[in-house]
Amino acid sequence: MSASSRQGGTPRHRPVSPPMGRARYVLVLVLVALGMLLLGARIVTLHVFDQPFLQGQGNARILRTEPLSAHRGMITDRHGEPLAISTPVVTLWANPQEIADDRIQRLMLAQALGMSLDELDGRLERYADREFMYLRRQLTPEAAQRVLDLRVAGVYAQHEYKRYYPAGEVTAQLVGVTNVDDRGQEGLELAYQPHLAGTPGKRRVIKDRRGQLVRDLEVLREAEPGGELTLSIDQRLQYVAYRELKKAVAAHEADGGIVVMLDARTGEVLAMANQPSYNPNNRAGLDPQGLRNQAIVDVFEPGSVVKPLAMAAILESGEFSLDTVIDTTPGWMRIDQFTIRDIRNYGELDLAGILEKSSNIGMSKLTLELDEPRVPELYRSLGFGQSPETGFPGEAVGNLPAPVRWSHSQWAALSYGYGLSVSALQLASAYTALANGGVRMSPSLLKRAQPASGVEAIEPEVAHELLRIMEASVQPGTGGRRAAVPGYRVAGKTGTVRKSSAGGYEKDAYRSLFAGIAPVSDPRIVTVVMIDRPRGGDYFGGAVAAPVFSRVAGSALRLLDVPPDQRERQ
């Protein structure tokens, strides 16, 4: 082919046909539109259909519901003086998986927490597979802030309350204690746990991935503080009772002791002291024996202090009068193979003399002459063998045997205080009948809003006569003379009881007691003192317990502004 023919021929490339280009263009538009449609559908799905699920997942990662601690109610004495209050504290906890293995940082953290580095490392290792461990419970806000200022990742704070007891060991067994979680464990703290605890609240917050608070959103439920509890205790009288009891227990090297003081008119407990005791604010090395409120939960044979009560039953029988004379010679007698003794031979005694000399023989002979079990029946009406119903955990009922299968010796023993058991609180409550013209006031640990009615247990004339006889038993030259209170007329009865155990009565082991009423002209207080196993020679109630009554009652009458009535006796 010639060159000219090659130059004049048609070109080698062919142009794109218009229909093909248009189809591709349409295809692209369709694909773009389809993508936008799918994207829009996905957006609609996420914002409409999946929105609750996604919102929940997001909230689960940043939103938290935290408890709001409820402030525990305060316990006060009858005048509003605090006996138990709650103070804000901070508990530090950690997520061991978030704490870095930085020796310097861990050392600083350990020092701030008051522990060694080895101790901290050991605890972190033990909880390595967990996300929670306590570092320190109930720190003061200042101490906790010093730890938080280190900004150690994985260390967090929780705000709580800690119970504080201003009166310390003086009211420990009565008020009781709470545990580290601020729940009542002993005493009135336990008895009134639902009332004192309150109701925790809730709040919603935002936290970051490390658990740090970012923002408070809302309070879902406000915390409701616990209710307050007003006790019948007068803190001034409580301090006096505890001080004198502690001195007496130490002076006589005794195992312990009890002082219970009631308002004679209302039955309210004005003071209730126990030895041994403990400091509820520092329980390190705590002796469990000190936890017991012996005045309510422990019982003992009352001995001669119940003789005035038994004499009330004897006089009410109508078979004897105050002028009745009983021959107690020779100072002992045998009943059912048992020997009953007086300290010495008192010879002939009238009923007042039997009480003043505390004659077991006289009481036994009088009781055995009765046709009916009047003594135990009166004891029961005075609250023996029954719950005091104070609401205190573990309060003792005591033991008053039923009159079935009684022997003569058991019948007689009840009249001089053996064969039954009572608590110090029961004994004090029974004595309110002698102070109130025969009306017994039930005891109360709480301040009464309304006057109590009481129960008529003893004939008024008999109660007044016994109060006069008991006053004579606290005069110079009598066994109860050390219970006298200068300026005031006092009535009372001493008691000395042998301690019993599983094997019978212990040798040279006694309880010394005194129960008294003051002032006689217008009784205001009833006080029972018991010293457990005094040593060092003295163990009679008149020598050991009566002086404690004198000091406690004397201080109480002055603090209560009771005018002296000594002149009326002269």
Q: Which residues contact 464 (CB under 8 A, 6 or more apart)?
A: 437
CA 402 – CA 383 distance, rounded (Å):
14
Place of tokens 């009598």: 478
Q: Name the residue among 533, 526, 516 with its Cα closest to residue 480.
A: 516
Torsion of CA 50, 56, 61, 67, to 10 degrees: 180
The two three-digit tokens of residue 337, written as one number: 């193979």
The two three-digit tokens of residue 38, written as one number: 């799918």
- For residue 510, with 0-12 CB atoms within 10 Å meaning exposed, 13-18 middle and 19 or more buried, which class applies? buried
- For residue 189, with 0-12 CB atoms within 10 Å meaning exposed, 13-18 middle and 19 or more buried, which class applies? buried
Give the strands of the sheet with 213-221, arranged side by side: 63-68, 201-207, 213-221
CB 295 within 8 A of CB 241: no
Active site residue 304: yes
User: Which residue in 69, 304, 444, 512 is the catalytic one?
Assistant: 304
Backbone angles phi, psi at 187, to 5 degrees: 60, -150
CA 259 – CA 233 distance, rounded (Å):
13
Annotated catalytic residues are: 304
